[in-house]
Amino acid sequence: MQSLPTEVKIKGILFLVPGFLESPTAVMAQSSIVQEASKNGLAVIMVNLTPNNESFPIDKKSIHTLGNMIDDFYHKNKISLDLDLYLGGFSIGGTTVLKFYAEKYKTLKISKVFAIDPPLDMVRLRKSLLKGREKSFVAKLDTLNTEHKTQEESLKEQSVYNPDYTNLSMLPDYRLTALRIYSEPDILWWINNRSMDLSDMNVTDCAGYINKLKQKSEENKVELILTKDRGIRNNTQKHPHSWSIAEPTDLIAWLLAK
């Protein structure tokens, strides 16, 4: 899906990666980020990196595919490489953009990155999925182990952040760009609706990652945005793991701020 500004000059390019099984139509029903971005002069490209978005797009092939999509968009639309490139994603899509940035920031100029409640520790995620309703998703994680390593070793290597594996030298540099991660730590909702607790929530990974990035350098421009009572799906259903926790007007203003 592409949305190009028609009434204002293009100020930048925003690539969005949806969550697992999400379609562009479903995303636009949950958030006005695309509309707000277009209104403010950003071209928006929402991508599916696997067929029907039915796999976790955090493997090397998916990262490579995203890079090719970015290159193709700039080339086919004859867009200047001087235009700012922004990356954003929800849930596992947020994990994807963080992995992409970590691998490409030295060779590709990326202005800002945001991720909405992404799972970053695949070891923790697998354990959490086994406890919850999404047990079938575990098979999707396990298919990423293509090199016949031990399950835990493979999951650690697929992680953006794992507290027992990630050291400072493995972390990307955010001094010349900026990162926002959004999470809504509604612990009682998870207890009452999913029989899960803080150890099962993505915010645990996100807090650890932001903390580690700040330990690496005080100049890293990274922040964890914690929200309250913003998580809503289908306009009425309370759910803290939602696109809506990122307020669109504020988010786009942050992207465009110099």
Q: Which residues form the domain of 182?
A: 2-120+173-256
Binned at pLDDT 50, 70 and 90, residue 131 comes out as: confident
- Asked, for residue 150, whether it belongs to a domain, the answer is no
pLDDT at 146 over 80: no
89 domain residue, yes or no: yes
Q: Is residue 43 part of a domain?
A: yes
153 lies in a domain? no
Tell me how far the alpha carbon of residue 220 is from its chain's centroid.
18
Instruction: Report, as an integer, the average pLDDT of 5-13.
Output: 84
| pLDDT tens sequence across 162-208 | 999 999 999 999 999 999 999 999 999 999 999 999 999 999 999 99
Confidence band of 118 (pLDDT split at 50, 70, 90): very high
Instruction: Give start and end residues of each alpha helix (H) in the chain.
Output: 24-30, 33-39, 60-76, 92-104, 122-131, 138-142, 151-158, 187-194, 202-216, 248-256
Give CA–CA dist 97/102, Å, rounded: 9
Mean pLDDT, the chain, integer: 94
Percentage of the residues of the chain whose pLDDT score is greater than 70:
100
Q: Is residue 221 part of a domain?
A: yes
CA gap 165, 154 in Å, rounded: 11
Q: Would 249 be classed as within a structural domain?
A: yes
pLDDT of residue 49: 93
* CB within 8 Å of 254: residues ≥ 6 apart: 112, 114, 178, 180
Whether the predicted pLDDT of 6 surpasses 90: no
Of the pLDDT bands very low, low, confident and very high (cuts 50, 70, 90), residue 147 is confident
Instruction: CATH number of the domain at 235, please.
Output: 3.40.50.1820
Q: Domains in the chain: how many in total?
A: 1
Q: Is residue 99 part of a domain?
A: yes
Burial bucket for residue 217 (CB in 10 Å: 0-12, 13-18, 19+) = middle
- What are the strands of the beta sheet with 112-116, ordered from one edge? 2-3, 42-46, 12-17, 84-90, 112-116, 178-183, 222-226
Q: How far apart are CA 151 and CA 154, in angstroms?
A: 5
* pLDDT reported for residue 2: 87
Distance separating alpha carbons of residues 19 and 89, to the nearest angstrom = 7
- Between the two ends of the chain, the Cα-to-Cα distance in Å is 27
Q: Across-strand partners of 116?
A: 90, 182
